Chains A and B, each alone.
Chain A
């Protein structure tokens, strides 16, 4: 019964999406200053639709919570013996459920937009909501016709098949929902860009409406990618944190586009420049999200992280892609030429630096896209190739290094036009840090080029991030500026972690007999014992490894080799010892015939900084949103006070109303 309510809610939501689309489109036909009678339904339709889509998701969540085995999806992906947390998170640990979450977030974003955004002209808002409804409709259709999560079994299953053990982890609770919210949040930027393009309202006011959405989606994407990277790092058992796997690239590409968009929308809001560019990036960012959905779910590419794939669903999503991305690019090609270019600026200016970085981000995006899709192209000619880290790292660095250098200087530049001579000291400082740190590290040993560059850049960026605060009263610095400083500093922190991991990691693989001791870096580790342990739906062999640093007090690490029985799979659970300056990562493997155990241990200096940096970057984004919202609220209350005062004065019959703004 509950599941049928969910299904009905989904159908109703789809019907409302049609209404939202038609009503939104009707507002375009209204004469200047008038309101089309049909147009008033768009906002309520979006809001009610959001409730219905979320309701559908909640009913599925409930079905998983109570393990309703008459639902096909629950029977094939859940198990009554699973811990409650994994029953709930298992809701989106499969294709249909995750797609419903995707659609739920899409509708919720549309609802929020319709409910709270009052600044846009009605026609632009109508067009935006029409586009949002159109996008949502396609994905409702995909759910209802090709991936129905509420399908019943003719006969309820006696027991469920269980969830892939690798997904039975707290990571599943955090990573997918955050990432989805980010991907789908970009749909609002997409709709706004299309709405503004269709109604020719590409201006700073529009940019100010778009900015919080872009920032919000970007923060969630950053957090989602950071969480996913850490999850893969500890769950896969080999200490890797980024593999340039197609699915990972699919999450990186929207982030790159959103990062560029976020900067470009700021330029548009502040300086009325980069109009076409902002629209292009708005379309591109969500297009990359949809492209990712296609790549992951169609099975055209081989990935460690892929879903159970289905070419028929792939064809459906490809059709949607053609409709939305193809349609958006067509409108872009037809309309963007008519968008005036916007304000001009000099090469050496804040805008100039932002344009440079946007172009570099786009170039990195192009490289990632090329490397990800290239195997698909060659397979069309029956040639199989692999493109991996040895390609992506250097090819990406060609653009990332200049971008990071300009990023260090950009925030110090003035808008519109500046003179390099003004920044002599800062430029010298940045150059000295890059060269100095690289020289210093080279003095101590031989390291690969990229980590070396990374260390130099990280040092320079960490200092440069705070230079915009130089000579300012820190209490007067706007919150949004703090956001920028912290996000840029986060890049430096993350880069430092990546470079250290790349340059200084140590690995020790050893067959150890119980009681045996091995050494890695400053750490001595002793395999004390290996004992069987049992969990709710698994049994495991657990190693007790005593780790002591420089002969200090030992700490016990307990990596496990787990065997799940439903589905029958084995996983290795790594054990981590986190120090301020790095992580010790231990995994237990098989037992050899002579009774010794395979132990893998890594010492990864400062590896945690990769994710701390990610969190800082996201925090910077949150501050930027908070700062903008605060300014906005102040401005609105000032405006309403001013209007109030004018009205009062007029009522008093005063001669000269004083403008309050």
Chain B
């Protein structure tokens, strides 16, 4: 005869699954893919200006003090929502370098005219090469880059009013 203990294995496996599933149901579903480049130096890049009004962006621009790298696009609706927050950050002396994703110069100019321009520079990333290189997977996303050009923090999604102090704190930490 087979051992009686073996007959309990299916139940044990099921109980393990049920426990895991029950636990996962209580957890918020992870929506975003986080970059694994935090703590790594920014990959080298040099992007052309996104429109005629501001210079383009390159890795070399991230020197002197911690700055924000904001990935956005004129066709992205949450980017409209975060525009006032970026302006608030800029008003507090934060230097924001933008990367416009798959965008056209006229659309960029139009967007900035409508929703304000918090950027010091905007590079045009027509084929998401910088986005992929820094491990970003959507728009908008905001990275804190320290004075040595190391990626210190990633904010996924639009910046809400409540996120502004958080980002200021991260910039402070990156000093």
Contact = CB atoms under 8 A, between A and B. Distances in A.
B11 A311 contact: no
Contacts of A644: none
Contact of B21 (A280, A283, A329, A376): A376
Interface stretch (A257-265, A330-338, A459-467, A473-481): A330-338
A294 interface: yes
Nearest to A341: B1
B15 A326 contact: yes
A381 to B, nearest CB: 11
B93 interface: no
Given A299-B29, A332-B7, A384-B33, A379 B2 contact: no
B25 A298 contact: yes
Contact of A333 (B8, B23, B25, B29): B8
A515 to B, nearest CB: 29
B114 interface: no
A311 B25 contact: yes
Contact of A373 (B2, B4, B17): B17
A318 B18 contact: yes
Given A332-B7, A337-B1, A384-B33, A325 B25 contact: no
Interface in B1-52: 1-2, 4, 7-8, 10-11, 14-15, 17-18, 20-27, 29-30, 33
Nearest to B24: A300
Nearest to B11: A329
A321 interface: yes
A314 B17 CA distance: 14
Interface string B60-103: 00000000000000000000000000000000000000000000
Contacts of A287: 14
Given A300-B21, A380-B23, A329 B29 contact: no
Interface string A262-297: 000000000000001000100110010000001000
Given A325-B14, A384-B30, A379 B21 contact: no
A314 B10 CA distance: 22
Residue among B2, B17, B18, B21 with max Cβ neighbours from chain A (10 Å):
B21
Given A326-B15, A341-B1, A377 B20 contact: yes
A315 interface: yes
Nearest to A284: B10
B10 A280 contact: yes
A326 B20 contact: no
B11 A330 contact: yes
Given A332-B7, A333-B10, A341-B1, A326 B18 contact: yes
Given A337-B2, A380-B20, A384-B30, A318 B25 contact: yes
Q: Which applies to chain B's interface (DSSP): helix, strand, loop or mixed? A: helix
Residue among A298, A300, A373 with max Cβ neighbours from chain B (10 Å):
A300
A595 interface: no
A280 B1 CA distance: 16
Contacts of A379: 24, 27, 30
Nearest to A336: B7
Contacts of B27: 379-380
A287 B4 CA distance: 22
Interface residues of B, number: 22
Q: How large is the interface on A (under 10, 10 to 19, 20 to 34, 35 or more residues)?
A: 20 to 34
A326 B14 contact: yes
A521 interface: no
Contact of A321 (B2, B18, B33): B18
B30 A314 contact: no
A336 B8 CA distance: 10
A516 interface: no
B18 A322 contact: yes
A615 B96 CA distance: 61
A337 B25 contact: no
A284 B23 CA distance: 23
Given A376-B24, A379-B24, A384-B33, A332 B10 contact: yes
Contacts of B22: 315, 318
Nearest to A315: B25
A594 to B, nearest CB: 16
Nearest to B7: A333
Contacts of A298: 21, 25
Contacts of A377: 20
A376 B30 CA distance: 11
Contacts of B7: 332-333, 336-337
Contacts of A337: 1-2, 4, 7
A336 to B, nearest CB: 5
Interface in A325-378: 325-326, 329-330, 332-333, 336-337, 341, 373, 376-377
A312 B4 CA distance: 37
Contacts of A314: 21, 25
B75 to A, nearest CB: 15
Contacts of B23: 380
Contacts of B17: 373
A508 B38 CA distance: 39
B21 A294 contact: yes
Contacts of A382: 30
A280 B22 CA distance: 25
A114 B115 CA distance: 69
B24 A380 contact: yes
Nearest to A340: B1
B31 to A, nearest CB: 10
B20 to A, nearest CB: 6
Contacts of B30: 379, 382, 384
Nearest to A366: B13
Contacts of A336: 7
A49 B1 CA distance: 42
Contacts of A300: 21, 24-25, 29
Nearest to B9: A333
A286 to B, nearest CB: 13
Given A300-B21, A329-B11, 17 more contacts: A276-B2, A298-B25, A311-B25, A311-B26, A314-B21, A314-B25, A318-B18, A326-B14, A326-B18, A332-B11, A333-B7, A373-B20, A376-B20, A376-B21, A379-B30, A380-B27, A384-B33
15 contacts: A284-B10, A300-B24, A300-B29, A332-B11, A333-B4, A333-B10, A333-B11, A337-B1, A337-B4, A341-B1, A373-B20, A376-B21, A376-B24, A380-B24, A380-B27
List of 9 A-B pairs having minimum Cβ-Cβ separation, nearest first = A329-B11, A333-B7, A333-B8, A329-B10, A337-B4, A311-B25, A300-B24, A314-B25, A336-B7
